[in-house]
Amino acid sequence: MVTRPFFIDILVYISKNAAYIRLYQRLLGMFKGTLLGFLSTFGWYAWQIRRRKV
């Protein structure tokens, strides 16, 4: 079986791949920002159209 706890393996993995994880987080943040911006813009247009119809 595993001699050392699982979270120690995770910590070692994170410390080895910190640069990749930071890059991934930055890309994820950019993607989230873009997605939120798109959704808010789409929601605003939908709200304007709905308000214009009434």
Residue 36 CB burial class (10 angstroms; 0-12, 13-18, ≥19): exposed
Specify the pLDDT at position 3: 67
Residue 42 has pLDDT above 70, yes or no: yes
Distance of CA 14 to the CA centre of its chain: 18
Specify the pLDDT at position 24: 86
Specify the pLDDT at position 19: 83
Distance of CA 23 to the CA centre of its chain: 12
Give the pLDDT mean for 21-50.
89
Question: Domain map of the chain by residue range?
Answer: 6-53
CA angle 9, 32, 26 (to 5 degrees): 50
Specify the pLDDT at position 4: 67
With residue 26 as reference, give the H or E element that holds it: helix 18-53
* Amino acid in the structure at residue 2: V
